[in-house]
C-alpha cells in the first residue's frame, strides 16, 4: 500500500469514474478496448450497475451509454464463480430487455457490449484477452451471413454481429506483463495498480493525474486504505474456506464473509454448503 501512488481501477469505478468529470478515463479505456473513439454519454441506473453502499462488497458493475446510444457493461469480478458464464448471459439479456421500452419496434434494440475484468482463472484457456461475438456461418459453404442490401441501408450495418451483444473477457491472472498493444498498458494497470514504464494508451494520462492517491483528501485516502484492508480480509477468508472441511471450521469464515458484504449465495458456493445452511448459521449468530 505504501508504495502505491494510484488507486485501483475497481475502487475508482465504484467511487470516481461515475462522475462526469472523470468520464475521460472510461472513454480512454473503452476506446482502446473497442478499437474506436468512444464518448461516454452517461452512466445509467440499472440492475446491472447497482453500487453496493457497503465498500466491503468487491464486485463492481458500471453500465454506460456511448454517443451512439450503445450500452456498455463494465464488470470487475474478483471471486471465482462456477456459473459466471451463465450469469453473464443473463446480465446481458437483462440489459437488452431493460432498455427495450413498450411500443418500440425491434429495430430499437440497443447494441450491448459486456466488458469483464476477471481476477480469477475463468474457464480453460491460455490467453488473457477473449472476444466473443455472434457470427452466422454456413454449415456447408462456410460463408458468413451478411445483412441484405436493404437492411444495410436501413440500419447502417453490414453483419448481424453488429446488432447482437459482444462479450470481452480480460483474464488478468493470465497477463504476462508483455506490452504488445496499447490495450495491454491498461491491463498492466489493472494487474499492478501502476502504469508501465512507457505508455501512450488513451486515458492513462488521466489515470496518472486523477487516480493519484497522494493528491486526494485525507478522508478519501482513508476510505481507500480501508477498502484495501477489506479486500485482503475477504481474500484470506475465502482461501481459508478452501482449506476447511467441516461446517464447524467454516463458521468463522461464513461470519467474516457476511461481514464483508459477500452475498449469501456466494458464501454458499465458497463453503460448499447450501444457502439454507448458511442462513441458519447466520441466524444462530444473530447476523440475520
Average pLDDT over residues 247-267: 83
Same domain? For 110 and 46 the reply is yes
Average pLDDT over residues 120-144: 95
Overall pTM > 0.85 = no
Closest alpha carbon to 85 in 130, 134, 122, 48: 122
> For residue 60, what pLDDT is reported?
80
Same domain? For 15 and 41 the reply is yes
Q: How many CB atoms lie within 10 A of CB 40?
A: 20
| Residue after which a domain boundary falls, among 182, 214, 246 | 214
pLDDT tens-digit series, residues 171-211: 999 999 999 999 999 999 999 999 999 999 999 999 999 99
Same domain? For 73 and 194 the reply is yes
Angle between helices 247-259 and 275-284 (to 10 degrees): 80
Same domain? For 142 and 254 the reply is no
Least confident of 125-129, 232-236, 262-266, 283-287: 232-236
Helix (H) or strand (E) holding 209: helix 204-210
Task: Supply the DSSP string of 80-95, one letter for each residue.
Answer: --TTHHHHHHHHHHHH
pLDDT band at 45 (very low <50, low <70, confident <90, very high): confident
Please check the confidence at residue 95 and state whether its pLDDT lies above 70.
yes
Answer whether residue 115 is part of any domain: yes
Residue 18 vs residue 1, higher pLDDT: 18
Average pLDDT over residues 47-72: 72
pLDDT band at 158 (very low <50, low <70, confident <90, very high): very high
Residues in the chain: 288
How many structural domains is the chain composed of? 2
Same domain? For 111 and 244 the reply is no
Would you say 28 and 201 are in contact if contact means Cβ atoms under 8 Å apart? yes
> For residue 58, what pLDDT is reported?
54
- For residue 44, count CB atoms less than 10 angstroms from its CB and return exposed for 0-12, middle for 13-18, buried for 19 or more: middle
Residue 272 vs residue 54, higher pLDDT: 272
> For residue 244, what pLDDT is reported?
62
Same domain? For 159 and 46 the reply is yes
| Residue after which a domain boundary falls, among 214, 244, 264 | 214
> For residue 239, what pLDDT is reported?
67
> For residue 1, what pLDDT is reported?
41
Same domain? For 204 and 244 the reply is no
Closest alpha carbon to 145 in 153, 134, 155: 134
What is the average pLDDT score of the chain? 88
CA distance 282 to 255: 7
CA distance 104 to 106: 6
Domain that holds residue 111: 9-214
Least confident of 157-161, 238-242, 266-270: 238-242
Would you say 13 and 76 are in contact if contact means Cβ atoms under 8 Å apart? yes
Same domain? For 46 and 95 the reply is yes
Least confident of 35-39, 123-127, 262-266, 268-272: 268-272
Please check the confidence at residue 3 and state whether its pLDDT lies above 60.
no
Answer whether residue 116 is part of any domain: yes
pLDDT tens-digit series, residues 12-25: 999 999 999 999 99
pLDDT tens-digit series, residues 103-116: 788 998 999 999 99
Residue 271 vs residue 48, higher pLDDT: 271
Answer whether residue 270 is part of any domain: yes
pLDDT tens-digit series, residues 218-252: 999 999 998 888 877 777 776 666 666 556 668 87
> For residue 153, what pLDDT is reported?
96
> For residue 243, what pLDDT is reported?
60
Same domain? For 93 and 157 the reply is yes
Amino acid at each position: 500500500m505504501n508504495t502505491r501512488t494510484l488507486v485501483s481501477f475497481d475502487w475508482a469505478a465504484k467511487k470516481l469514474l461515475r462522475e462526469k468529470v472523470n468520464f475521460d478515463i472510461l472513454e480512454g479505456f473503452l476506446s482502446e478496448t473497442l478499437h474506436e473513439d468512444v464518448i461516454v454519454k452517461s452512466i445509467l441506473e440499472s440492475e446491472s450497475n447497482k453500487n453496493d453502499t457497503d465498500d466491503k462488497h468487491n464486485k463492481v458493475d458500471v453500465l454506460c451509454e456511448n454517443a451512439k446510444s450503445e450500452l456498455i457493461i463494465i464488470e470487475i469480478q474478483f471471486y471465482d464463480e462456477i456459473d459466471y458464464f451463465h450469469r453473464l448471459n443473463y446480465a446481458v439479456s437483462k440489459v437488452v430487455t431493460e432498455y427495450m421500452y413498450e411500443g418500440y419496434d425491434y429495430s430499437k434494440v440497443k447494441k450491448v457490449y459486456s466488458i469483464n475484468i476477471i481476477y480469477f482463472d475463468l474457464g480453460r484457456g491460455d490467453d488473457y484477452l477473449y472476444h466473443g461475438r455472434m457470427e452466422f456461418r454456413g454449415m456447408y459453404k462456410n460463408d458468413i451471413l451478411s445483412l441484405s442490401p436493404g437492411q444495410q441501408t436501413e440500419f447502417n450495418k453490414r453483419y448481424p454481429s453488429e446488432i447482437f451483444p459482444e462479450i470481452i473477457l480480460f483474464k488478468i491472472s493470465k497477463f504476462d506483463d508483455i506490452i504488445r498493444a496499447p490495450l495491454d498498458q491498461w491491463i498492466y494497470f489493472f494487474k499492478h495498480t501502476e502504469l508501465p514504464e512507457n505508455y501512450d494508451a488513451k486515458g492513462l494520462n488521466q489515470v496518472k493525474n486523477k487516480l493519484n492517491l497522494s493528491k486526494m483528501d485525507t478522508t478519501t485516502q482513508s476510505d481507500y486504505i480501508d477498502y484495501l484492508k477489506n479486500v485482503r480480509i475477504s481474500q484470506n477468508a475465502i482461501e481459508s474456506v478452501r482449506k476447511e472441511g467441516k461446517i464447524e471450521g467454516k463458521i468463522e469464515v461464513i461470519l467474516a464473509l457476511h461481514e464483508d458484504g459477500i452475498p449469501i449465495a456466494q458464501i454458499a458456493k465458497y463453503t460448499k454448503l447450501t444457502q439454507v445452511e448458511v442462513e441458519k448459521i447466520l441466524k444462530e449468530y444473530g447476523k440475520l
